[in-house]
Chains A and B, each alone.
Chain A
Amino acid sequence: DQQVKQNSPSLSVQEGRISILNCDYTNSMFDYFLWYKKYPAEGPTFLISISSIKDKNEDGRFTVFLNKSAKHLSLHIVPSQPGDSAVYFCAASEGGGADGLTFGKGTHLIIQP
């Protein structure tokens, strides 16, 4: 049973526009959410995170929104740049991550010139 779901395997966005990546979760015990970015032949790189006590966190071009009632989070990238082309993983944890992170299957973001 997948507790973290990324329903779009891929997403194509034009350079300069906004990229919106979505993630849904089922476990109401999750209290911390993270986004990781992964290039081919590399490990995932931490991008941005949000605690369940917040509904928004911003870091430069990246903003994560959390809707606890809908068990939904999204990552906004504005403006999208060619270097943003990568696989993005949504991850969640409970109890401070002591039991490891639960990952979605990822969304492949392609930025078109």
Chain B
Amino acid sequence: DSGVTQTPKHLITATGQRVTLRCSPRSGDLSVYWYQQSLDQGLQFLIQYYNGEERAKGNILERFSAQQFPDLHSELNLSSLELGDSALYFCASSVYLGVNEQFFGPGTRLTVL
């Protein structure tokens, strides 16, 4: 158990809908990262927050957004969902900005029908 929690574990929704994925980092970790793992791709970095502020963006679509709250939990919002958004979404956390070892949650499996 990495100490990172993600809810829900599974999510099934329809095209065009909007969903919110939630992540609670390990106790004491200030950085939160979001990754997407689709069927034919490895883990792709989406976005990073540090102590409530956005710090880095990777391959994140404009339809996706995220935020980190004062209690350090983070939410990833996916809107206007398409079939191709079906994937595993992982959250990871680390103590500080720029610490390489990231600890991953169990993931949320999103299925868009």
Contact = CB atoms under 8 A, between A and B. Distances in A.
Contacts of A105: 41-42
Given A98-B97, A103-B44, 8 more contacts: A32-B100, A41-B106, A43-B2, A43-B104, A97-B100, A100-B45, A100-B58, A103-B43
A24 B98 CA distance: 23
Contacts of A91: 43
Interface string A31-43: 0101010000111
A102 interface: yes
Interface in A72-113: 89, 91, 93, 95-106
Interface residues of B, number: 29
Given A45-B2, A103-B43, A104-B42, A98 B102 contact: no
A27 B36 CA distance: 21
A32 B103 CA distance: 16
A93 B48 CA distance: 14
Question: Which range holds the interface residue count of chain A?
Answer: 20 to 34
A106 B94 contact: no
A49 B2 CA distance: 17
B98 A45 contact: no
28 contacts: A34-B100, A36-B104, A42-B106, A42-B107, A43-B92, A43-B104, A43-B105, A43-B106, A43-B107, A44-B43, A89-B43, A96-B97, A96-B99, A96-B100, A97-B98, A97-B100, A98-B48, A98-B56, A99-B45, A99-B48, A100-B33, A100-B35, A100-B48, A100-B56, A100-B58, A104-B42, A105-B41, A106-B42
A89 B45 CA distance: 14
B98 A96 contact: yes
A101 B106 contact: no
Interface in B76-96: 90, 92, 94
Contacts of B35: 100, 103
Nearest to A51: B100
Contact of A101 (B4, B55, B102): B102
